[in-house]
Structure 1
Amino acid sequence: MLQAIGLTSAPRRDLPPVVDDLTFEAQPGRVTALLGAPGSGKTTALRLMLELESGRGVAYFRGRPLHRIRHPAREVGVLLGDVPGHPARTARGQLRMLCAAAGVPASRADELLEVVGLAGLGDQRIATLSAGMDRRLGLASALLGDPHTLVLDEPARGLSPRERSWLYGLLRAHAAEGGTVLHATDDPKEAARTADRVVTIDEGRLVADQDVAAFSRTRLRPRVAVRTPQAARLAAVVSREARAARRSVEVVAEDSSRLSVYGSSCAEIGDTAYRHGVPVHQLADETGDAGPLAAADGPGSRPPVPKPASAVAVSELPPPITVRPARGPLRPLRYELRRLFGVRTTALIMTAVLVASVGLSVPLARSGRASLPELLVAWPDLLPLPPAAFGAGLLGALAFGDEFRHPALAAGRGTVPRRLGLLFAKLVVSAGVGLLLAVLSVLANVEALRLVYGGDLVKVPDNAAWLAASWVGLSIGCAWAGLLAAGVFRLTAAGVAAVLAVPVLVVPLVQKLLAEPSVRSIAGLPGRLRELSWLQWPYQVDRWVMAAVRVVTQPVGLALSLSLSALICAYAFTSLRGRARW
């Protein structure tokens, strides 16, 4: 059961709230339609239920508010708007990524593609899907966790009559298995055809809460649709004859050539038009809408339906609704891998990095001015960073940046939240990608230099271990800097800017600090650390400790360490501030 009690949106400026004290229920095993004209507050009401918009009131899903449900995707399936996926991702890849987020097996994606009729289109990219296919994919996303409740905002928008019939048949099947279905619509006839109960709202307030039979009786009236070039004359004749016969007939002019006649029949209108010589181009029985307030205020209608019993205990000031982030992926590492490699962007960036690295290394070696380490990583003096380090930073920035551009969790539940598990998964994956880029770029440069200039140019230096550690640390550090900055500022460009700021801004400042003469030395640091530690490591480890210290104390290493420390603090601060709103 879904219970919405006292939903009231936060008023903006001097305007009244979009949703005002809205209370209704959606029963399990039934399809409930939330009916209202465009702008009546349907979408805002759904967003209040899902804690996506601040206000007052409470919504219970089988007795629990959404933030009290441990795995929301397994309780509530949501479809608000279009599928919020990366346009270059395939339908199957999108669903598999959402499977990792919801903690369900990846095979569930193929099952739902079959259910929604997209089995043969799983490899088609989201950007190429038609409106009907997009709605099918959105419904598959909502059904991934096998939820009990479905909350859908105009799910049939833009669909053909055949697709509408299929969609509502699927919703009816879900309700028949004991599930709860709530969908918003602005078409009264559609609500009467598809729902068991219709909740009508107008200007954010409850107008009527009726079963479909009562709704059809009070809101929908049969009418005769007439199209004639002499509409005004026919309207006058029909009204005059109705008054003479003392019959209740209402004639409404839809436009200059179309009439809607209530309280009559096609035969009577046809006979009247024939007797008076009025040409008729169309004559058909239709079902008309009596208007949004007719159920409460129209002639012969029943009074507004009282609020459910659950609303009796509601105070005049309902509890506040706080906007809460979605729960994070239940399988973060698997989710992050599918997010990273589910689009061609990763492969294209890595390929561009290797090509640029080789293209810079070969001309550098020809000039003879660059040292061997600079040749191996393709780092000329005119560039702030080598291609591999910049590419690692760009992929790290995309790790969070794309999440905010194309939300990847269940539709309508917002972007990926700031969870330690997800952050750890992104750090691990971005570090792996940075390490892979660092190794591949060096190997590609070595092979290119040997091919062009022979094997004498490339020799293993004496401090190869220290150089390798520095190179790997730079690549991974750039990846993490881009990742954390994009997470803090919710923008890919901010992540890229943070990566470039290290060599352009921070390194010169560090170099000025290190230019001062030193009267103290860090020699003997490993021994002093051993004295403070409870664990006694072998003396061979001292060399590796000193190597790590040397890497960090270099200008670039120190600048990168300072930048990462600042970004970690900023990320922790924004995460704690977001949790404080709960």
Structure 2
Amino acid sequence: MIQAIGLTSTPRKELPPAVDDVSFEAHSGRVTALLGTPGAGRTTVLRLMLELQKGRGITYFRGRPLHRVAHPNREVGVLLGEVPGHPARTVRGHLRMLCAAAGLPVRRADEVLEAVGLVSLREARLSTLSRGMDRRLGLACALLSDPHALVLDEPTHGLSVREGRWLHGIMRAHATRGGTVLFTTGDPREAAQIADRVLTLQQGRLVADQDVAEFSRTRLRPRVAVRTPHAARLGALLAKEARTARRSVEIVREGGNRLSVYGSTCAEVGETAFRHGILVHQLADEIGDMGPTASAASTASAASTASAATEAAVATPTPSRPGDGTPGEADSGDSVEDPQGVGDDPGVAAQERRTPPAGSSTPSTPPAADRGPVSHGNLADSAGPADPIAHSSPISHTHHTNTADASRQLSHQSPHLPRLPRSVEAGALPPLPPPIAVRPAPNPLRPVLYELRRAMGVGTGYVTAVVVIVVSAVMAVVLAGMGHTPQPRLLAAWPRELPLPPAAVGAGLLGAMAFGDEFRYPALAVDRGPVPRRLGLLAAKLLVSAATGLLLALFTVGCDLEVLYLLHGPELTSVPGAWLPLGASWLGLVVGCAWAGVLAAGVFRSTSAGLAAVVAVPLLVVPLVQKALQGPTVRHAIGFPMRLRELVLTQWPFGGDRYVEAAAQVIVQPEGGALLLSLTALLGAYLFTTVRSGVR
């Protein structure tokens, strides 16, 4: 159960808040729709609920606010906007990376892929997915941790009719299992079709909280949509016949060749057009939207207001019998959403769309489990090609046989479209991934596994490493041909004219991408929001970047040695006498550059800023350190282990004084001191921004 209390967004300057004191409940086992026009504050409400936006109010998920839940992703699954993943990552790789972050077994990724019908596209790149496939992947991410609640922001926006029906089936199946489903939509017909309860937002305020039967009775009006080149003549004839028969019929000219006839039926309009020889291009039963004002008035006042609104705006239609209409009526009614005429029985659908006379005690719309489909045409739009979502309503979850037929026929028309799961085509509810029986305990290696999958899931890191190794080998050969280069710098391919060797620059770039890609493609954040600045995530990135830097340093030196040996023989590949301090300095330089890239990109939220911070160390910080020390500083490290041993009166075991002296010589070097100073400053800045952002 979800309980939202007093949700209010922070106003900007003197503008009113986008959401003002919104309170509601979404119960378990039911589908709740949050309905509103664009700008009504639907997405802001969800962001306030999920604590993604600052404001006032609180939301309880089964009695606890989200920041008090130990594992939020196991309490609520979220789908806001597009899937924020790296475009070069595969579908399965993206889900496995999220499994590592959530501490789930990797087989869970395959389970949800099977549930959402993406098994055939598991190796596809995220950049190649269509809108429908992207929504499926987003739903798979939301279902990954088997959450109790699903919070979806316009899940069917931009989807085809078939994809929308499938998604509605998933939502209904989750609610049937006892979960809570809350979704936003701007289409009242979709809300009436799939939801059990409808919450109506208008200008940031909750104006109606209704059961779906009451919502359909007060908000939706049945009408007949007519398209004919003789719209004016047909409208005049319909009005004349209504006056003659003393019936209340309202005819609205929608513009061009379109009419909306309230208080009549397809059979009556069609017979009138046939008797007078009027050509009709479209004749369909639809549901007209009366706007949120009608729902608010019905909720605020009692039956008198609803009765007055009914007498003023809604004419009592004549109930039609299943056999009244001709087959052409059903086909034209479904033509907006299905050009092949695939859909429910036209007579039954037309009968279920009717409302009873005013004053009747029988509800106008049956409960959610018994409702029929609602046609979704909108005659206010232009006469161009109809949008399948703006002009169609998904079929109710109780009509799965017809959904399966539609799926099979649409698959014949478009063989390139992915098929629905077999269980949906067979007429059953779409299966959900099996629940996680045993939730694993917190794993200290979870951030490390996530970072490894994140770094290894795309080819950018591999390409960068290969380029660095090749450039280093070429530079080593060029320096050997030029001569006058010391052997340590020759093996590192580090000429005096360059501030950093290629390996250090490459390690810094890889470290900067570790956080830069996190902010650019925030897989751990909902709706591309702020990346969580957890210290465990930082430690994992530092550890993985250090390991990557060490491997890169060893590979570059090894490749340089091999190339120099092949071209110049063994005279240039001898091991230097002071190999220990030189090796420590080399490895420390590469790892330090990698860490500087990680920290700088985490502070400035950019890969380019992280790389700039790495290059700034030798160009800016080293001259400042040299000027401060005024002279060579290596001599200060000479004898440091001896003085330390004399101070503590202990003997170094296993020749440990050599290692201490090597470490001291690395630190007192200008590059080492400058790098250590930069890392300290960047770490302090990162911790400051972490505390300031209020990370829990």
Shorter-chain TM-score above 0.5: yes
1:456 paired residue number? 571
- 261-270 or 294-303, larger mean C-alpha shift: 294-303
Deviations 1:94-133 (A, max 9, x none): 1011111112111111111111101121111100111111
User: 2:85, 2:522 within 8 Å by CA — same for their partners in 1?
Assistant: yes
Secondary structure of residue in 2 paired with 1:288: strand
2:482 aligned with 1:482: no
1:539 Cα deviation after fit: 7.2
Closer, same or farther: CA 519–156 of 1 in aligned 2, 3 Å: closer
Secondary structure of residue in 2 paired with 1:293: helix
Aligned residues: 558
- 12-21 or 176-185, larger mean C-alpha shift: 12-21
Q: Which runs of 5+ in 2 are unaligned?
A: 299-304, 310-441
1:527 Cα deviation after fit: 4.5
**AA partner of residue 417 (structure 1):** P
Closer, same or farther: CA 402–519 of 1 in aligned 2, 3 Å: closer
**AA partner of residue 250 (structure 2):** E
2:686 aligned with 1:568: no
1:202 Cα deviation after fit: 1.4
**AA partner of residue 664 (structure 2):** V
Secondary structure of residue in 2 paired with 1:38: coil
Q: Residues of 1 paired with 2:647 and 2:261: CA distance?
A: 94
Q: Residues of 2 paired with 1:246 and 1:533: CA distance?
A: 111
Q: Residues of 2 paired with 1:533 and 1:33: CA distance?
A: 72
2:140 paired residue number? 140
Aligned-pair identity (%)? 65
Structure 2 residue corresponding to 1:300, chosen from 306, 321, 325: 306
Deviations 1:209-233 (A, max 9, x none): 1222222222222111111222233
Secondary structure of residue in 1 paired with 2:693: helix
**AA partner of residue 474 (structure 2):** G
Q: Residues of 2 paired with 1:332 and 1:421: CA distance?
A: 6
**AA partner of residue 377 (structure 1):** A
2:665 aligned with 1:550: yes
1:414 paired residue number? 529
- 349-358 or 8-17, larger mean C-alpha shift: 8-17
1:413 Cα deviation after fit: 7.4
User: 1:141, 1:411 within 8 Å by CA — same for their partners in 2?
Assistant: no
Structure 2 residue corresponding to 1:427, chosen from 533, 542, 548: 542
Structure 2 residue corresponding to 1:361, chosen from 476, 481, 492: 476
Structure 2 residue corresponding to 1:391, chosen from 506, 510, 521: 506
2:119 aligned with 1:113: no
Q: Residues of 2 paired with 1:217 and 1:108: CA distance?
A: 43
Closer, same or farther: CA 465–267 of 1 in aligned 2, 3 Å: same
Closer, same or farther: CA 220–521 of 1 in aligned 2, 3 Å: closer
1:240 Cα deviation after fit: 4.0
User: 2:509, 2:597 within 8 Å by CA — same for their partners in 1?
Assistant: yes
Closer, same or farther: CA 13–232 of 1 in aligned 2, 3 Å: farther
User: 2:48, 2:55 within 8 Å by CA — same for their partners in 1?
Assistant: yes
Q: Residues of 2 paired with 1:302 and 1:450: CA distance?
A: 96
1:244 Cα deviation after fit: 4.6
Deviations 1:128-171 (A, max 9, x none): 11111111100000011100000000111121111111111111
User: 2:637, 2:665 within 8 Å by CA — same for their partners in 1?
Assistant: no
**AA partner of residue 454 (structure 1):** G
1:495 paired residue number? 610
Q: Residues of 2 paired with 1:468 and 1:399: CA distance?
A: 26
User: 2:103, 2:443 within 8 Å by CA — same for their partners in 1?
Assistant: no
Secondary structure of residue in 2 paired with 1:412: helix
Closer, same or farther: CA 281–119 of 1 in aligned 2, 3 Å: closer
Closer, same or farther: CA 517–425 of 1 in aligned 2, 3 Å: closer
Q: Residues of 1 paired with 2:654 and 2:32: CA distance?
A: 73
User: 2:637, 2:668 within 8 Å by CA — same for their partners in 1?
Assistant: no
1:241 Cα deviation after fit: 3.7
Q: Residues of 1 paired with 2:171 and 2:224: CA distance?
A: 32
Normalising by structure 2, we get a TM-score of 0.77
Closer, same or farther: CA 61–238 of 1 in aligned 2, 3 Å: same
User: 2:113, 2:119 within 8 Å by CA — same for their partners in 1?
Assistant: yes
Closer, same or farther: CA 49–541 of 1 in aligned 2, 3 Å: same
1:69 paired residue number? 69
Deviations 1:480-515 (A, max 9, x none): 001001111111111001100011111122222333
Secondary structure of residue in 2 paired with 1:391: helix
**AA partner of residue 383 (structure 1):** L
1:443 paired residue number? 558
1:331 paired residue number? 446
Deviations 1:298-350 (A, max 9, x none): 773699xxxxxxxxxxxxxxxxxxxxxxx999810100101111100010000
1:297 Cα deviation after fit: 3.4
Closer, same or farther: CA 360–524 of 1 in aligned 2, 3 Å: closer
User: 1:156, 1:167 within 8 Å by CA — same for their partners in 2?
Assistant: yes
User: 1:141, 1:410 within 8 Å by CA — same for their partners in 2?
Assistant: no
Q: Residues of 2 paired with 1:519 and 1:411: CA distance?
A: 51
Secondary structure of residue in 2 paired with 1:349: helix
Secondary structure of residue in 1 paired with 2:688: helix
2:674 paired residue number? 559
1:319 paired residue number? none
1:291 Cα deviation after fit: 1.8
1:523 Cα deviation after fit: 4.7
2:471 aligned with 1:465: no
Where does 1:120-199 land on structure 2 (aligned, <5 Å)? 120-199=120-199
**AA partner of residue 529 (structure 2):** G
1:272 Cα deviation after fit: 3.5
Closer, same or farther: CA 73–517 of 1 in aligned 2, 3 Å: closer
Q: Residues of 2 paired with 1:8 and 1:165: CA distance?
A: 33
Closer, same or farther: CA 455–248 of 1 in aligned 2, 3 Å: same
Q: Residues of 1 paired with 2:500 and 2:307: CA distance?
A: 75
Q: Residues of 1 paired with 2:456 and 2:656: CA distance?
A: 37
Closer, same or farther: CA 419–537 of 1 in aligned 2, 3 Å: farther
1:344 paired residue number? 459
**AA partner of residue 133 (structure 1):** M
Q: Residues of 1 paired with 2:506 and 2:308: CA distance?
A: 68
Closer, same or farther: CA 491–517 of 1 in aligned 2, 3 Å: closer
Deviations 1:71-100 (A, max 9, x none): 000000001000010111111111011111
Where does 1:245-256 land on structure 2 (aligned, <5 Å)? 245-256=245-256
- 471-480 or 382-391, larger mean C-alpha shift: 382-391
1:37 paired residue number? 37
Q: Residues of 2 paired with 1:208 and 1:435: CA distance?
A: 62
Closer, same or farther: CA 574–533 of 1 in aligned 2, 3 Å: farther
1:318 paired residue number? none
Q: CA RMSD in A?
A: 2.3
1:412 Cα deviation after fit: 3.2
User: 1:30, 1:195 within 8 Å by CA — same for their partners in 2?
Assistant: yes
1:369 Cα deviation after fit: 1.7
Closer, same or farther: CA 188–138 of 1 in aligned 2, 3 Å: same
Q: Residues of 2 paired with 1:81 and 1:225: CA distance?
A: 33
1:277 Cα deviation after fit: 5.2
Q: Residues of 1 paired with 2:601 and 2:203: CA distance?
A: 39
Q: Residues of 2 paired with 1:208 and 1:107: CA distance?
A: 43
Normalising by structure 1, we get a TM-score of 0.91
2:281 aligned with 1:281: yes
Q: Residues of 2 paired with 1:534 and 1:244: CA distance?
A: 117
1:534 Cα deviation after fit: 10
Closer, same or farther: CA 461–521 of 1 in aligned 2, 3 Å: closer
Deviations 1:519-562 (A, max 9, x none): 99455433554566698742722221111111111111111111
User: 1:218, 1:302 within 8 Å by CA — same for their partners in 2?
Assistant: no
Q: Residues of 2 paired with 1:295 and 1:367: CA distance?
A: 84
Structure with the bigger RCO (C-alpha within 8 Å, sep 6+) is 1
1:14 paired residue number? 14
1:309 paired residue number? none
User: 1:78, 1:410 within 8 Å by CA — same for their partners in 2?
Assistant: no
